Amino acid sequence: MKVVSYFRLHELRWTIADSDIDALRARFPGVTFTSVEEDAALTAELADADVFLGWNFPPKLFAAASRLRWVHSASAGIEANLFPALVESDVILTNSAGLHSVCIPEHVLGLMLLLARNFHEAQRLQREQVWDRARVIMFAGGVKELAGSHLAVIGAGAIGTSVARLGNSLNMLVRVMRRRSSRPVPGAERVVGPDHLHELLGWGDFVVLATPLTAETRHLIDRTALQAMKSSAYLINIARGEVVDDEALIDALRSQAIAGAGLDVFSEEPLSSTSPYWSLPNVIVTPHVSGYTPGYFAKMLALFADNLERLVRGTALRNVVNKRLGYVEQ
């Protein structure tokens, strides 16, 4: 069996440390591990690969990888791996869902606190060396307390459920939207289905997008959805940029139809220097870093190694993606 690892995501590259490769070789003596760093070498290495480990499998190389049995995504998001040839094949797709259940909810909490207390406006005043209490207190939707606020979470995977629990622990009132509304979410006072999306948006003071990107969720937050939100509400997106209609959101932010937004993901990454998001005063931009946490790579490799053990033994793998739905069914 041959495993090929290749980590390239936009402008970023990673490689598995030699010590980690050595540990995998010692644990799986019958498996060949090849770490590819240069794009030019990938085609030849994939020709006889059984397993691919990385962010995204290059679609144009799929047909030539005739021995491929399993693709493991190092991230929870797998939409780039859902190209038709892979979806239609017998190749198993797994992801790293569950490894972000601490860092991303904490990032969400940070954005909620920044927006609720208008820290972004206070930072602008600091740069200007201006003391103006009223400007901070009254900016955008006005200073808020999280306790007692309404937290609407769209999506009930590992991240969404952790956001719900965290919000509940802060005495926020929490409601969650999930595909199967009959399944409860710890910390949520109510769980609704997609048919209640606009009702939920109108209820929320903070709306957190934590849904996978699928055909059903692409541009889920469109102009009509944004019109359903309160003018005092905030939108936080740590899901995928394409879940939001950018033109509609930018218009809503400019017109103050909503109070503001905390955005970590974007339809095009890196975010263009000409994007209006950079200059909108009621927006906090972070460069897709909510999923970063110390030790993540080690945890991801441990999950992969456990699944490789299962593959070798012929038992069921963890985190198998339903390729038709586009996510791991909970």
Catalytic residues: 240, 269, 288
Tokens of 74: 């190092």
Amino acid at 270: P
Please count the other Cβ atoms lying within 10 Å of the Cβ belonging to residue 166: 20
Tokens of 304: 């992969």
The HSE-up count of residue 11 (CA atoms within 13 Å, CB side) is 6
d(CA 172, CA 163): 11
Tokens of 228: 């359903």
Tell the residue number behind the tokens 């490799």, with chain if given. Answer: 301
To the nearest 10 degrees (0 to 180), the angle between helices 119-128 and 103-116 is 60
d(CA 42, CA 44): 6
Backbone angle region of 219, left / alpha / beta, with phi > 0 → left and psi within -120 to 50 → alpha: left
Contacts of 275 (CB under 8 A, 6+ apart): 266
d(CA 304, CA 94): 9
User: Taking a C-beta distance cutoff of 8 angstroms, is the pair 194, 177 a contact?
Assistant: yes
Secondary structure letter of residue 60 according to DSSP: G
Helical ranges in the chain per DSSP H = 18-27, 39-46, 84-88, 103-116, 119-128, 133-138, 158-169, 197-203, 223-228, 246-254, 296-313
Secondary structure letter of residue 321 according to DSSP: -
